[in-house]
């Protein structure tokens, strides 16, 4: 019997029903919500909203000025203006105008502009929702015969343009895997489970938890993103330090490509040439449709806790995190907020009694927030290992001059998937918010952060506009860490001007990342937004090899063209 995901990674409730298309968010609890529908122009379910407290509103107005509000487009009006489909009728394809609008975009910032204002550059010509490999094969054959492009679609949560419909002379078919969500096989002795690639995170965990297992992959988009999407974009979960990255979890699967099928068996190890799994990881739909995915699972941990510490000095905090990452203890997550993010996080939390108590406690210990840096540490595993990890955490954190904050780590875990809802709430107030993320070795990490934040902070000065910029480290390794930077800016009265403003910010940050030796994407994939910088990281020969590999799987170039790499004539 599957279960319902609740808050932290170890708390589930049993449910009686099977797969559900939607999940209700209430008090940080995810549960099936029969009859509810997903919000078409934002994040989550219809009716699910985040409140921006007065303290955060005051911070934004003081730093950026009053927001510029835009009016929302209505789905009914947009559907009424959708052009006729260019696809021939097919029993598995819907050409409903409203459906075509709702799958035309993902969740990147350009997607948000289009969804909220109705400024769509292009719309798909049809939507298909297959429920089997055979139906996927039939739809790929239909697309090839019709000369149509195919966009694989999972949870629609991509933030780099992977599922965005682009203008094209050929018709476009969105192939959604939302019906391919079954648990297909569970092999406890082998520690393997196979699912339909369209299964969303909460449902996948619910099925596994019912049998005492977990995958442990919890990206920010966990509520809506899918297993196939995680593989296709090389996703990272918030607790990847302990549970591993998706490439470590991905054991095998089944791919339907225009040129044929590929079955990747889940061997524990193999030395038979290059690993075909690696061809599929990060392929972003360019090779075909991943229909089934086999993953390596583990037993539900005996214990999981989240603890918080405050540091006076960011660089000492960074050194402590590097030391903790090399300890080999039971850490599943080490998330270090810079002073800028600490300030914003406290403002978003509001000025309740708990916040006042925390600030008073730290003040008595000689640390005045928000000048400090906050560390949220997750410890996961057997009880003895968690106790040992907690002792190591206290030892190293206190050596770095840190002060423990009771209760803050658990509070963070309860609200860990809240951020996407805040983006919609800030849009309603007239502000745009987006993120860039990268990774580099410890030796260059501080310089990378300085370069990215400086680039974002100065790019709109010529317009007389300010940008609120702050960062955190949320994925660490013995050799380095990621850098996750958020930027907030005012919207423009004209959506096209807002898009141009965002492009200047995104380009400035991307150039700074490349110049500083960081990867152009640590966890969001490439899509369209990062495509111009791929060659700088991989080199021309490697990118051309990717292009030739895609051509072998997809000779007609129907699979998600324009994503990941440039298509040559």
Q: For residue 150, is pLDDT > 70?
A: yes
Measured CA to CA, the distance from residue 540 to residue 285 in angstroms comes to 21
Q: Give tens-digit pLDDT for 272-311.
A: 999 999 999 999 999 999 999 999 999 999 999 999 999 9
For residue 500, count other CB atoms closer than 10 A to its CB: 11
pLDDT at 369: 64
Alpha-carbon distance of 523 to 344, in angstroms, equals 23
**pLDDT exceeds 70 at position 569:** no
Q: Which residues contact 49 (CB under 8 A, 6 or more apart)?
A: 421, 424, 425
In the DSSP assignment, the letter for residue 361 is H
Q: Could you tell me the pLDDT band of residue 406, with boundaries at 50, 70 and 90?
A: confident
Please identify, among 372, 397, 414, the residue that sits at the C-terminal boundary of a domain: 414
Q: Does some domain include residue 39?
A: no
Above 70 in pLDDT, residue 266?
Answer: yes
pLDDT digits (tens, 9 = 90+) for 13-53: 433 333 333 333 322 334 444 445 889 999 998 888 889 99
**Predicted local distance difference test score (pLDDT) of residue 364:** 59
Domain final position from 176, 193, 208: 176
Predicted TM-score (pTM) of this structure: 0.93
DSSP 463: G
Supply the pLDDT for residue 46. Answer: 85
Q: How many angstroms separate the CA atoms of 526 and 507, rounded?
A: 14
Shared domain for 172 and 201, answered yes or no, is: no
Q: Is the pLDDT of residue 365 over 80?
A: no
Q: How many domains does the chain have?
A: 4
* Mean pLDDT, rounded, for 64-70: 96
Confidence (pLDDT) at 45: 85
**Residue recorded with tokens 């089944």:** 254
Report percent pLDDT > 70 for the chain.
Answer: 90
Phi then psi for 50, rounded to 5 degrees? Answer: -110, 140
In a domain, 42, yes or no: no
Do 172 and 86 lie in a common domain? yes
pLDDT tens-digit profile of 409-468?
A: 999 999 899 889 999 999 999 999 999 999 999 999 999 999 999 999 999 999 999 999
CATH code at position 238: 3.30.465.10
Report the alpha-carbon distance of residue 312 to residue 269 in Å, rounded. Answer: 46
Of the residues 355, 389, 414, which one is the last residue of a structural domain? 414
pLDDT of residue 192: 98
What's the CATH code of the domain at 524? 3.30.300.330
Q: Please, is 212 exposed, middle or buried when counting C-beta atoms within 10 Å of its C-beta (0-12, 13-18, 19+)?
A: exposed
Range of the domain at 313: 303-414
The per-residue pLDDT of the chain, averaged, comes to 91
């Amino acid at each position: 019997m599957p279960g319902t995901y609740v808050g932290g990674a170890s708390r589930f409730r049993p449910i009686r029903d099977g797969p559900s298309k939607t999940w209700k968010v209430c008090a940080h609890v995810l549960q099936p919500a029969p009859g509810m529908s997903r919000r078409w122009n934002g994040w989550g379910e219809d009716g699910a909203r985040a409140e921006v407290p007065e303290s955060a509103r005051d911070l934004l107005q003081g730093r950026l000025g009053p927001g510029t509000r835009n009016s929302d487009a209505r789905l009914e009006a947009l559907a009424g203006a959708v052009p006729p489909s260019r696809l021939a009728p097919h029993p598995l394809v819907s050409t409903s105008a409203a459906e075509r609008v709702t799958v035309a975009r993902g969740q990147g910032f350009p997607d948000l502009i289009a969804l909220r204002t109705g400024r769509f550059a292009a719309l798909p010509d049809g939507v298909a929702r297959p429920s089997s490999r055979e139906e996927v094969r039939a739809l790929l054959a239909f697309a090839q015969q019709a000369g149509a492009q195919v966009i694989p679609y999972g949870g629609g949560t991509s933030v780099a343009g992977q599922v965005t419909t682009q203008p094209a002379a050929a018709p476009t078919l969105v192939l959604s895997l939302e019906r391919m969500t079954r648990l297909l096989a569970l092999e406890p002795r082998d520690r393997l489970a196979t699912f339909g690639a369209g299964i969303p995170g909460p449902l996948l965990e619910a099925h596994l938890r019912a049998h005492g297992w977990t995958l442990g992959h919890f990206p920010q988009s966990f509520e809506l993103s899918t297993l196939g999407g995680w593989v296709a974009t090389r996703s990272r979960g918030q607790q990847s330090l302990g549970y591993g990255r998706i490439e470590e979890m991905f054991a095998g699967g089944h791919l339907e490509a225009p040129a044929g099928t590929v079955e990747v068996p889940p061997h524990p190890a193999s030395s038979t040439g290059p690993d075909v799994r690696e061809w599929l990881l990060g392929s972003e739909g360019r090779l075909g449709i991943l229909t089934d995915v086999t993953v390596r699972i583990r037993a539900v941990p005996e214990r999981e806790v989240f603890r918080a510490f405050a540091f006076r000095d960011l660089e000492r905090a960074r050194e402590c995190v590097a030391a903790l990452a090399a300890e080999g203890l039971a850490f599943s997550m080490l998330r270090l907020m810079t002073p800028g993010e600490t300030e914003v996080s406290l403002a978003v939390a509001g000025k309740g009694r708990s916040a006042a108590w925390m600030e008073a406690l730290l003040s008595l210990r000689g640390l005045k927030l928000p000048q400090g840096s906050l560390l949220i540490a997750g410890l996961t595993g057997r009880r003895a290992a968690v106790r040992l990890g907690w002792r190591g955490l206290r030892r190293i954190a206190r050596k770095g001059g840190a002060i423990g904050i009771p209760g803050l780590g658990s509070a963070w875990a309860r609200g860990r998937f809240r951020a996407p809802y805040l983006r919609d709430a800030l849009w309603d107030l007239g502000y745009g918010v987006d993120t860039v993320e990268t990774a580099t070795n410890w030796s260059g990490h501080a310089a990378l952060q300085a370069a990215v934040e400086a680039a974002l902070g100065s790019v709109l000065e010529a317009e007389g506009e300010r940008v609120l910029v702050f960062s955190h480290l949320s994925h660490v390794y013995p050799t380095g860490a990621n850098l996750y930077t958020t930027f907030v800016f005012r919207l423009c009265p004209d959506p096209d001007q807002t898009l141009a403003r965002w492009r200047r910010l995104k380009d400035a940050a991307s150039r700074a990342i490349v110049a500083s030796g960081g990867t152009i994407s640590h966890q969001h994939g490439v899509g369209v937004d990062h495509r111009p910088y791929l060659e700088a990281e991989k080199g021309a020969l490697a990118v051309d090899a990717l292009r030739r590999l895609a051509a072998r799987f997809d000779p007609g170039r129907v699979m998600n063209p324009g994503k990941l790499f440039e298509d040559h004539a």
